[in-house]
Structure 1
Amino acid sequence: MARADGRDGGRGPDRLPGVHLGEGGRTASPWGRDRDGKPAVTSLRIAVVAPAAVPYTRGGYERLWTGVVNHLNERTDHRAELIKLPFPETTLHEVIDGYRRFSELDVGGFDLVLTGKYPGWMVRHPRHVIYLAHTLRGLYDTYPVEWVHCSDPRAEDARIRLGGIPESADIDTVLGIYSSLVTELGADHPDFAHPGPLGRALVHALDRIGMSPQRVVRHSAISHTVARREGYFPPGVGVEVMLPPTTLELTPKAGGEYFFTASRLDDPKRIEMIIAAMSAVEGDTPLLIAGTGPARERLESAAADDPRVRFLGFVPDDELTSLYAGALAVPFVPRDEDYGLITVEALGCGTPVVTTSDSGGPTEIVRDGANGFVCEPDGRSLGRVMNALANNPDLSTAMSAHCVDSVADINWPNLGRFLTRATPGPRHHPAPARAGGRPRLVLLSTYPIHDPRGGGQLRCFHLYRHLTESFDIDFVTLTDVDSPEWTASAEPGLTETAVPRSRAHHDAEVAASVHAGVPVSDLLGGSRIALTPRYLSVLHERLRGAAAVVLIQPYMLPALDIAGCELPVVLDNQNVEAVLKDQMYLSGPEADLVRAQVSRVEAAALSRARLSIACSQEDADLLQRLYPAAGAPSVVIPNGVDLDHLDFVDPRERVTRRLRWAEAYGDSGGELRLGLFIASWHSPNLRAAEWIHEMAPGMPEVRFLMAGSHTQAFDPATLPPNVIQLGVIGDATKHILLGTVDVALNPMLEGSGTNLKMVEYLAAGIPTVSTSFGGRGVAPADSGFYRVAGEDEFADLIADTVQREPTDPHLTRMVRRAQEHVRARFDWSVLAGRLTPHLEKLVRAD
């Protein structure tokens, strides 16, 4: 077996930087834990395993792994080695031999193995991460569909058997079938033609084994185009996406006197289309074409009558960046490109890119009209765009800043962190076959919804995932500036693509918040969305073929305007934003300006909407009073609860759980009582929390457990000793608390929407003390489902509740009736069923 253990100078695994020997002489995992108990990566020895083309060529794939290895070695504490084996693939026999040799490669001396191309992923390692560029495309998505059957019955039988080999099989099973056929048929038999149906079955079986989740800890891809291709990944596996950067030192844009493109000169790059487009370009603007390849002679012949078209041949890297920077635009129009580093390189130099709607990878980055243009895949459409740029060179200059900003986050530090991360992040799940004719909704939000914690996230995640019986749901959301872009699917029918804010977008939000003296990230998230052109590019792609759009809050309305969206719009009003912001913001001219902007965008969104969703009837009435001209029909869909994952805990069991919890605090006598308040960081919640802080010293026997992001607004050192700040908590912790505490608190005096915490309290069977305002949209004050208190008696009612026996008939009857009320009216499946006919009517009407 070939060995590539990464050891040099006799240095054994006991001397690896950041790695120590555990008990029994085994190497301890370099993935430790940080102070918060989260996975933390120390220094790793990393093997990058890749095939070397024969004859050798240096394309985008080779440059990618060179860049990864150089970055990891020069800019991080990791040590990486690029391990390449020659891989000729002219014949099927060469291909199968390459798969065999990579499967025999021993990389046991490394902590992490990265692969990205066939047959490199046949290597075995307990921490194998695939960062896929492409499979052997000639046997996958570009394979001729008419080539189905083998000519010889023995080969046909083998082809059928290969299709049934499971991913758990050993590679020897496949190689055994292949070897037997070579013996029976002879190596020169026509069924061994490459490409061909037998070779396709062999390679698919080998890839199925090599890429199996049993052998790979993380599956990822260089683009969403690659991640979505049918058959590239094992069925149902999650695929993370990170766009790779370039190894070139990019040059800032200087002028714009010519069109420039750089590609391998072969059919898939469609250089002929660019040459044909030049016939529509007026004047003497030249087209410079860099690159070599088998189609050069034919392309030169096609351009023979146009002296403006010049072929430069091979261009070294330092000249390449200068050519990008000096170009008016870079037309790049391949057919279904995996990714296209040319796009990143041109945009990084500040030069817009012109691509086509079927070009694949480039369309993930190019946003039509912002950092380039996306046209139809024909010479006439491409020519119109190129002619417009030639006649208006200032347009290219105006786009330059957007171009650079759109790829600012595609860099080596982000990719390095992504590849060496210890645990998988949000993933792109290849979408299952869409139901024939099922309408698709595109939802826009200023925050991501997967791994939901806050009330808005929980509403988005659970309400819309329960709509997937009738609709396909595509979320397009904004996330933090330093996060990678990702696409995730929690279940069939619901996907989310989260796009990080650009640096310019983030800085604009921060500056506006400082100037106004209040946080305005939601407002600026939408009003300055043009600063994150990648979001608009993703949105433009998702809108194709959609039936309707749902705005989660009004703030992303400007994105629809920029995208030129004419689909029917639904507005999900999680709050009455004008009222909520008015309560949150202090007085002053800057804050007043923000208030006015919020009111304007809320009014505009309601006027645009064909359906308005409110969280309570009170909110629906208030929106009608504030914006009487809007006129959109409304439906009340309150916040709900996921009853499938939230248990009702009866009073006796609740006491048992609380006693176990109290023992951990040294209360063996059972005198300790637990109160719970869950809330996010909003001004009404902060005031409610302050009220609890004021009441706490008068009830020393109660531990007030404060959960959620609102806790970040308070210094624990200034709080009473019986107020315990838990911070942001996950679902598991929340469910434990909901099944343990003696009383739940909802001392709300202002705000908007429906209190999600109130619904969860009642569903879990917690005796709840609330103001009448806190019960809005859930149950009226006289319903008997919770205990109602005003400001003067709230503390007394808490004390009375925790002192009652668990068998108290009043409390027992109250919590059981409350739980029945919630189950009948607030289960997310019930609420989704209530919303579905309204959406179906909207879609049918359009």
Structure 2
Amino acid sequence: MNIVIVENHIPFLEGGAERHTEGLREALLKVGHQVEIVRIPFNWYPKENLIKSAFIVRLLNFKNMGGKNIDLLIALRFPNYYIEHDRKVVWLIHPHKSAYELWDRPFIDLPRDPGGYVVREFILKMDKRYLRDAKKVFANSKTVAERLKRYIELEADVLYHPPPNAEKFHCKSYESFIFFPSRINPLKRQILAVDAMRYVKSDVKLLICGRPDNLDIYRELLETIKGLEGKVVYLGEVGEEEKIDLYARCLAVLFPTAEEDYGYVTLEAMLSKKAVITCVDSGGPTEFVEDGINGFVVEPKPEEIARAIDTLAQDINLAVKMGENAYEKIVSLHISWDFVVEKILEQV
């Protein structure tokens, strides 16, 4: 089949969504299909661009391109699931978050004014209408599926997928540092993690790595670390092999993100036999982390995170046991690209 995966293109920004898309392409190529990723430029500023983007993709023709029929269209994010196609499958990474779960959060990019309200209502109505045009809607996590159900009364099947390089993650040791790999972004809550280290009593460090989304966020992180240089280390952006090694050697993984859609960090930690500390409002990670069994699910407060870190730092046997439980949990779910491809192609 000729398959097109439609995704957003946001210059200078790369994260889990981009790796998700590449993983899907490789999995479909592996079983013999012709697959192209078509990336459509996307900009959410100013807010009026969200409405313009919706109308632009409605005008696009993906039924036949370059004289070839497109047998299957797979859309992953807003607004690309508005594209018309007789064989359209949506595997939703997330809808436009600011119109959904972030509307009442401080990280919003839609202002709470009449204009922002109008744009939000437009997105919710368009989603409610055009997502139902798809032959099937999958969500990449229970968290995303629950948002669709809550906001637009749409049912979606959950379809998990493995992180990139899943087979390379392993456990080497349990050294005296907590690892926090993620893009530096307010929603990931690196500042909260640094603040938690002010309350940690144990002789354990926090190692943070990841690329900042912008210079202001980078400066804020460095400013917050001042005075904690002996307890917090920012490594900058590290390569894949170094990241895998840090997972393999850390005591545990901290991932206190807010409203995460899925979260590769959680799966990568579990494949490395490491306990995960996350928060009650972290979304996707809470689907895998069982409090007190393979990690901790705590309130997003520095003192609570510090208490969880100290619990593991002061009992290495507990950290090892929780890490083993984490590995058993992720293996038991049988998450694979083969299953993903099978479920998507069932719709054609």
Q: TM-score, normalised by structure 2?
A: 0.88
In structure 2, the partner of 1:226 is 144
Contiguous gaps of at least 5 residues in structure 2? 64-68
Measure, in 1, the Cα distance between the counterparts of 2:259 and 2:306.
Answer: 20
Of 321, 341, 345 in structure 2, the residue corresponding to residue 416 of structure 1 is: 341
Instruction: Give, as a single letter, the amino acid of the residue that structure 1 aligns with 2:330.
Output: V
Task: Please tell me whether residue 387 in structure 1 is matched to residue 310 in structure 2.
Answer: yes
Of 189, 195, 201 in structure 2, the residue corresponding to residue 276 of structure 1 is: 195
Whether the aligned pair in 2 keeps the contact of 1:129 and 1:216 (CA below 8 Å) is yes
Task: Please tell me whether residue 47 in structure 1 is matched to residue 4 in structure 2.
Answer: yes
Measure, in 1, the Cα distance between the counterparts of 2:171 and 2:254.
Answer: 16
Of 147, 155, 159 in structure 2, the residue corresponding to residue 242 of structure 1 is: 159
Size of the alignment, in residue pairs?
331
Cα 1:220/1:232, change in 2 over 3 Å: farther
Of 176, 198, 204 in structure 1, the residue corresponding to residue 124 of structure 2 is: 204
Of 65, 72, 85 in structure 2, the residue corresponding to residue 125 of structure 1 is: 85
Q: CA offset at residue 227 of structure 1? A: 1.0
Instruction: Give, as a single letter, the amino acid of the residue that structure 1 aligns with 2:299.
Output: E
Instruction: Give, as a single letter, the amino acid of the residue that structure 1 aligns with 2:129.
Output: I
Instruction: Give, as a single letter, the amino acid of the residue that structure 2 aligns with 1:416.
Output: V
Q: CA offset at residue 100 of structure 1? A: 2.6
Of 284, 288, 291 in structure 2, the residue corresponding to residue 365 of structure 1 is: 288
Of 31, 34, 37 in structure 2, the residue corresponding to residue 79 of structure 1 is: 34
Whether the aligned pair in 2 keeps the contact of 1:357 and 1:363 (CA below 8 Å) is yes
Cα 1:63/1:82, change in 2 over 3 Å: same
Map Cα deviations across residues 25-79 of structure 1 (whole Å, 9 max, x no partner).
Answer: xxxxxxxxxxxxxxxxxxx3321111111x23111011001001011112x1333
Whether the aligned pair in 1 keeps the contact of 2:142 and 2:158 (CA below 8 Å) is yes
In structure 2, the partner of 1:102 is 57
Q: How does 1:741-756 map to 2 (within 5 A)?
A: none
Whether the aligned pair in 2 keeps the contact of 1:329 and 1:351 (CA below 8 Å) is yes
Whether the aligned pair in 1 keeps the contact of 2:276 and 2:294 (CA below 8 Å) is yes
Of 227, 233, 242 in structure 2, the residue corresponding to residue 305 of structure 1 is: 227
Determine helix, strand or coil for the equivalent of 2:235. Answer: strand
In structure 1, the partner of 2:66 is none
Whether the aligned pair in 1 keeps the contact of 2:174 and 2:250 (CA below 8 Å) is yes
Q: How does 1:260-275 map to 2 (within 5 A)?
A: 260-275=179-194
In structure 2, the partner of 1:136 is 96
Q: CA offset at residue 328 of structure 1? A: 0.6
Instruction: Give, as a single letter, the amino acid of the residue that structure 2 aligns with 1:106.
Output: N
Q: CA offset at residue 234 of structure 1? A: 4.0
Measure, in 2, the Cα distance between the counterparts of 1:399 and 1:415.
Answer: 28
Q: How much identity, in percent, do the aligned residues show?
A: 28
Whether the aligned pair in 1 keeps the contact of 2:141 and 2:262 (CA below 8 Å) is yes
Cα 1:383/1:355, change in 2 over 3 Å: same
Q: CA offset at residue 232 of structure 1? A: 6.8
Measure, in 1, the Cα distance between the counterparts of 2:322 and 2:15.
Answer: 28
Task: Please tell me whether residue 217 in structure 1 is matched to residue 135 in structure 2.
Answer: yes
Map Cα deviations across residues 338-396 of structure 1 (whole Å, 9 max, x no partner).
Answer: 11111011111111111112211100001123322222321112111101211222322
Cα 1:139/1:390, change in 2 over 3 Å: same
Measure, in 1, the Cα distance between the counterparts of 2:83 and 2:148.
Answer: 23
Measure, in 1, the Cα distance between the counterparts of 2:84 and 2:148.
Answer: 25
Measure, in 1, the Cα distance between the counterparts of 2:326 and 2:282.
Answer: 18
Q: How does 1:634-645 map to 2 (within 5 A)?
A: none
In structure 2, the partner of 1:112 is 72
Q: How does 1:222-621 map to 2 (within 5 A)?
A: 222-229=140-147, 234-235=152-153, 237-249=154-166, 250-257=168-175, 258-293=177-212, 294=214, 295-306=217-228, 307-408=230-331, 409-422=334-347
Instruction: Give, as a single letter, the amino acid of the residue that structure 1 aligns with 2:338.
Output: P
Whether the aligned pair in 2 keeps the contact of 1:282 and 1:390 (CA below 8 Å) is no
Whether the aligned pair in 2 keeps the contact of 1:135 and 1:232 (CA below 8 Å) is no
Whether the aligned pair in 1 keeps the contact of 2:136 and 2:347 (CA below 8 Å) is no
Max Rg structure: 1
Determine helix, strand or coil for the equivalent of 1:282. Answer: coil
Of 51, 54, 58 in structure 1, the residue corresponding to residue 14 of structure 2 is: 58
Whether the aligned pair in 2 keeps the contact of 1:222 and 1:339 (CA below 8 Å) is yes
Measure, in 1, the Cα distance between the counterparts of 2:274 and 2:322.
Answer: 8
Cα 1:201/1:283, change in 2 over 3 Å: closer
In structure 2, the partner of 1:70 is 26
Measure, in 2, the Cα distance between the counterparts of 1:135 and 1:221.
Answer: 10
Q: TM-score, normalised by structure 1?
A: 0.37
Map Cα deviations across residues 778-816 of structure 1 (whole Å, 9 max, x no partner).
Answer: xxxxxxxxxxxxxxxxxxxxxxxxxxxxxxxxxxxxxxx
Measure, in 1, the Cα distance between the counterparts of 2:149 and 2:45.
Answer: 23
In structure 2, the partner of 1:739 is none
In structure 1, the partner of 2:44 is 89
Q: CA offset at residue 335 of structure 1? A: 1.6
Instruction: Give, as a single letter, the amino acid of the residue that structure 1 aligns with 2:173.
Output: G
Q: How does 1:774-789 map to 2 (within 5 A)?
A: none
Whether the aligned pair in 1 keeps the contact of 2:145 and 2:155 (CA below 8 Å) is no
Map Cα deviations across residues 177-236 of structure 1 (whole Å, 9 max, x no partner).
Answer: xxxxxxxxxxxxxx4xxxx1222233233323321x2x111111111111112677643x
Determine helix, strand or coil for the equivalent of 1:287. Answer: strand
In structure 2, the partner of 1:461 is none
Contiguous gaps of at least 5 residues in structure 1? 1-43, 151-190, 424-846
Measure, in 1, the Cα distance between the counterparts of 2:199 and 2:44.
Answer: 41
Map Cα deviations across residues 517-558 of structure 1 (whole Å, 9 max, x no partner).
Answer: xxxxxxxxxxxxxxxxxxxxxxxxxxxxxxxxxxxxxxxxxx
Map Cα deviations across residues 462-498 of structure 1 (whole Å, 9 max, x no partner).
Answer: xxxxxxxxxxxxxxxxxxxxxxxxxxxxxxxxxxxxx
Measure, in 1, the Cα distance between the counterparts of 2:323 and 2:119.
Answer: 47
Map Cα deviations across residues 69-125 of structure 1 (whole Å, 9 max, x no partner).
Answer: 011112x13332211111122223433332233223222222221112111101111
Cα 1:232/1:120, change in 2 over 3 Å: farther
Instruction: Give, as a single letter, the amino acid of the residue that structure 2 aligns with 1:61.
Output: A
Measure, in 1, the Cα distance between the counterparts of 2:79 and 2:236.
Answer: 31
Instruction: Give, as a single letter, the amino acid of the residue that structure 2 aligns with 1:200.
Output: R
Determine helix, strand or coil for the equivalent of 1:338. Answer: coil
Cα 1:343/1:198, change in 2 over 3 Å: same
Determine helix, strand or coil for the equivalent of 2:134. Answer: coil
Instruction: Give, as a single letter, the amino acid of the residue that structure 2 aligns with 1:243.
Output: Y
Measure, in 2, the Cα distance between the counterparts of 1:296 and 1:248.
Answer: 27
Give the CA RMSD over aligned residues. Answer: 2.2
Map Cα deviations across residues 137-161 of structure 1 (whole Å, 9 max, x no partner).
Answer: 12222225997763xxxxxxxxxxx
In structure 2, the partner of 1:643 is none
Determine helix, strand or coil for the equivalent of 1:264. Answer: coil
Q: How does 1:639-718 map to 2 (within 5 A)?
A: none
